[in-house]
Amino acid sequence: MTLAATPRTDRTNPSGASASSVVVGVGALSFADVIAVARHKARVTLDPASLEQVGATRTIIDALAADTEPHYGISTGFGALATTFITADRRAQLQASLVRSHAAGSGPEVEREVVRALMLLRLSTLMTGRTGVRPATAETYAAVLNAQITPVVHEYGSLGCSGDLAPLAHCALVVMGEGQARDAAGALLGGDEALKAAGIKPVVLAEKEGLALINGTDGMLGMLVLALDDLARLLVTADIAAAMSVEALLGTDAVFAADLQQLRPQLGQADSAANLRRLLHGSGLLASHAGPEDTSVQDAYSLRCAPQVHGAARDTAAHAALVAGRELASAIDNPVVTVGGRVMSNGNFHGAPLGYVLDFLAIASADVASMSERRTDRHLDASRSKGLPPFLAHEVGVDSGLMIAQYTAAGIVSELKRLAAPASVDSIPSSAMQEDHVSMGWHAARKLRRSLDGLGRVLAIEIMTAARSLDLRAPLTPAAATGAVRDLVRTVAAGPGHDRFLSPEIERVVALVASGAVRLAAGSGLV
């Protein structure tokens, strides 16, 4: 599963920045750029030519600011107060007041990687030259990112229209030397203290800049890009888990044949089936019951239809990546400075395109997890496991085996089904009915993050369960790929034996899934 973004324009790399440095300019950031900065602390470098364009656009804003006629966002109030003229001596206060009032989030802190992603994406829009900010403001955003300063952003506050106002306002507040932030070590500081420690001068906002810093879909877009990165790993992991279960449950790989998949040319399905064929190649377990005497003509759907479900999730992710790529190529602000120099109000900040796909991914995540849990349950049911002991217990009647591990998976799946209920169909009007339809895209993104965490846990439980089943099938041997994953699991979780404290073992296998170690152990060539 590969991800690609549609560029705003062709982007060069004049600074020769390496993978540890990301160039931000007129061109669209790639998915890899966002991941590098958000998750791997890559530094940000501003493209000099793009910075010149930012300065050129600012001259348009300065000219309008000097005009005696009111211009929205420059010499007027905002939202329902858009017709109120503000005199020049009050405009700095106007911009600062806008940010302070909109930094009204509540609840737990949002994860550092999310805040870094949304700050980077806002900086990317600033660098298009379509927002009218001063070059120094963009430079300060880059400096904050490079100093590993993370503004405190809260769980609640965004309705996804006009973009992610409250989360972005909390970031802008720190750039102003106010609010709260975490430093590189995670210590909580005042915004002024964090900037001073890093040698960064706070920004005093000029006309239009307050609006430019908070009008964008950057939070929901950042979380979408992060989610797609997670899904690229989790969907391959789902194939690995399914392959281990097919082997351990004495299923058949005949249904994954390429000619059968070609009868239904769904792209994701073909990729998933190819993964399963590669993973199961050379399996002694499958060979042990292959041939005319094999009674496994039709395995249960959770085994036989894995490529269809995992593939549909892949296709959903591919569609979401297409939408995300277009959004990465966007310059979202209100008002916006057009290429022709007009300053125009618009509705591009509405989060519907992102909200829809974020919700769609939560549906796919829940379904992949649901199928995984059903496979786990089959391992534990002696009437369906083809000879394995009840609950894979060491001493039946005394030991409970992995019975309650399946309970845990089932509880998570139930939660994922609730999280699959779409947020984007809801709307609560705000701003005196000026913003009378909102996207709730931020909420769709927040629940997707929880959903993907749950999916990883459910897959880990299946992998741990299938590994024990494979052990119990000895002396029959698994395929090289699935055997390698079983061996990896054995480095953090013991094999069959009397009951023991399971929770730490589950968490250690969850960590193997989250780190990508499971995917790596399965070998190359998986897509």
How far is residue 79 CA from its own chain's centroid?
Answer: 31
DSSP string, 52-101: HHHHHHHHHHHHHHT-SS--TTTTB--GGGTT-B--GGGHHHHHHHHHHH
d(CA 20, CA 3): 19
510, 457 in Cβ contact below 8 A? yes
d(CA 176, CA 157): 20
Helix axes 112-126, 165-175, angle to 10 degrees: 80
Helix axes 48-65, 135-146, angle to 10 degrees: 130
7, 329 in Cβ contact below 8 A? yes
Helix (H) or strand (E) holding 155: strand 154-156
d(CA 190, CA 202): 12
358, 223 in Cβ contact below 8 A? yes
Token output for 82: 């858009």
Distances (CA, A) of 124 to 116, 157, 205, 331, 352: 12, 23, 18, 8, 21
DSSP string, 262-311: HTS--HHHHHHHHHHHHHHTT-HHHHHT-STT---SS--HHHHTHHHHHH
Q: Could you list the active site residues? A: 72
The pairing of strands 336-337 and 343-344 is antiparallel
